[in-house]
Amino acid sequence: MALPRVGILADDRLQQHLLKTALVHFGFDVVLSTDPERLPELGAELRLDAWVVDIRHEDDENLHWLDNLLDGDIPVLIGLEKAPQKTCPTFPKWEKKLYSKLLELTQVTPLLAENSQALEQLPGQQNPRIPLPASLAGQDFSQQVASCVWVLGASLGGPEAVKAFLDALPAGLPVAFVYAQHIDPRFEQSLCKTIGRHAAYSLKNFRAGEPLRCGEVLVAPIQHEFCFDDKGLPQTLGTDWPGPYGPSIDQVILNISRSYGHKAGYILFSGMGNDGAEALATLTDPDVPVWVQTPATCGNSSMPESAIATRRVNYIGDPYQLALQLVNRVKHSWIQNHESIAH
């Protein structure tokens, strides 16, 4: 599938760079990024799906090129807000607004989500399963409603990473997961079967009112937003996810945070785009774990890199390392709480 082709015309070099970085992260092919003064040299055979124009130093006498551009056949996106610094909490929102406006203008969607072929080609179990810590042996949490919930967020390249992570986890941990994966809605049901093929955890599709128990992985619905009510039961809100794609990892994080607070954790895996980064920047408790897959091990590293740019991430590892980190965290938390009760 060919990537949507975009040309950037900006008279500020930093703005050029930020626009290009954002568009590449969202799956666009940036054919050129240059100053508008170079436009006459470029010719007309660029075969673009859209122009993105950002002018900071207006000079009405020298804007005839813009009139020609607007009169042409290629859609033009103009009037963008200046990009904040990449470390600014509002940067992910600016990126997402740019993406949404470009989608609306061009009606050409980059490949952000997984398809059936990617699911069919998922490898078998790659690493030996991590042993269950001795402190948790003999405990049975399987019928308990989960009080500790981890969000697993992923997009393009994510299913393989998430499968490797879940395959490595031992049965018997007192945790549950909400898995938010950008995927073609036609393959939502098959996601459970393929990701859970070798895992010790039970993957299930969303059903309103059905409690999330320890040892379960709830696959977030693609079409409609959901949350947990004050009894800890998942409820559909009957509305589409906010933003340009579903499920919105940002919104899943916000909804889980409201329900579980410091008993939640968040892991972002391979993915194109920046979904999740905006919500992570709102998590003010430094003790709440925010982990990402090592960018070098990702099929697409944009999503973890966007999260890292928020300066909120406190652990980076490949899928197996992330699983090992989780097992160790649960073990230490159990020992600490158990000892404090015993004393």
d(CA 109, CA 102): 9
φ, ψ dihedrals at 16, nearest 5°: -55, -50
Catalytic residue among 25, 33, 182, 270: 182
Catalytic residue among 49, 167, 250, 275: 275
Q: What does R_g of the chain's alpha carbons equal in angstroms? A: 22
| Closest by CA position to 183, among listed 216, 152, 150, 223 | 223
| 155 carries an active-site annotation | yes
Contact criterion met (CB below 8 Å) for 201 and 177 = yes
Catalytic residue among 155, 248, 257, 301: 155
Using left for φ > 0, alpha for ψ between -120 and 50, and beta otherwise, residue 311 falls in left
Helix (H, G, I), strand (E, B), or coil: what is residue 9?
A: strand
| 190 carries an active-site annotation | no
DSSP for 249-300, please give it: HHHHHHHHHHHHGGGEEEEE-S-SS-TTHHHHTT---TTS-EEEE-GGG-SS
| 262 carries an active-site annotation | no
- What is the H or E stretch that residue 66 is in? helix 64-70
Active site residues: 155, 182, 275
